[in-house]
Amino acid sequence: MKPFLLLLCLLVGCAHPLQVEQQLLQTSRNGIGMIRKSLENQQKLIENWMQKDRQELSDAFEQDLKNQPMPDESWVLEAHQAYRIALETKIRRDESILRGFRIDMDNLDAVEQALVQIEQLNDRQLQWMKGFSK
């Protein structure tokens, strides 16, 4: 039975497609690594922009306060409330953007895990085929 299966594998060419699959898997993993690095770089840039955006809002509030010759209590309360609402809105926006990055990274992790499982299956198939060549 073993010689028949070995002959069948040699005729059909089982080993070659598995080696090609392994190369494709490695290329896929390299691509995932590049995408991951790109996402991490984008996230850092956006986080820096978010921090700068919040600081500009704070600076604008302070500048408005300084530009008021004699701010009365109602102006200060309204301006502070507007600042708080704007800041809360920016925080929600930022959290949503960062949540999107986390989802993207989780998706990459899932794809990478699937590739690992495929790689393990290929290794088992190669080991199985080597058992017939002994």
The pLDDT-based confidence of 8 (bands split at 50, 70, 90) is low
pLDDT (tens digit, 9 = 90+) per residue, 112-133? 999 999 988 888 887 887 776 6
Kindly report the average pLDDT of the chain as a whole number. Answer: 87
Does 108 score more than 90 pLDDT?
yes
Structural domain range at position 77: 15-133
For residue 2, tell me if it sits in a domain.
no
pLDDT (tens digit, 9 = 90+) per residue, 73-96? 898 899 999 999 999 999 999 999
- Alpha carbon dihedral 112, 113, 117, 122, in 10-degree steps, equals 20
Q: Provide the number of structural domains found in the chain.
A: 1
Mean pLDDT computed over 65-75:
87
For residue 4, tell me if it sits in a domain.
no
pTM exceeds 0.85 for this model: no
